[in-house]
Amino acid sequence: MTTLELLTRAAVMGIAGSAFIDAWAFFVRRTFQVSSLDYRMLGRWLGNMPHGRFFHARISQAPAVPYEGPLGWAAHYGIGITFAVA
């Protein structure tokens, strides 16, 4: 198997795994009214890192960063792909 094939398979598996987690969270939220993770908070945490802020008592009270939602979702799927590669 070539490196490109390995990375392609890992990307597909990581995206599929992350999508499955998202579908499960949607099901649990709709069926049992259990709130799920807010990936904007992941984006906010990552977005504050370039400013030297790595730790927060409450990430929800940290300063908002531009595009924290898309950043959080991209990180969520990027982490899924990274786990698939590993």
Q: Extract the tokens encoding 83.
A: 């786990």
Assess contact for 44 and 72: CB atoms under 8 A.
yes
Q: What is the largest CA-CA distance in the chain?
A: 47
Residue entry with tokens 């069926």:
31
3 state SS of 86: coil
CB neighbours of residue 72 within 10 Å: 22
Q: Given this model, what pLDDT does residue 1 score? A: 84
The pTM score is: 0.89
26-51 pLDDT, tens digit each:
999 999 999 888 999 999 999 999 99
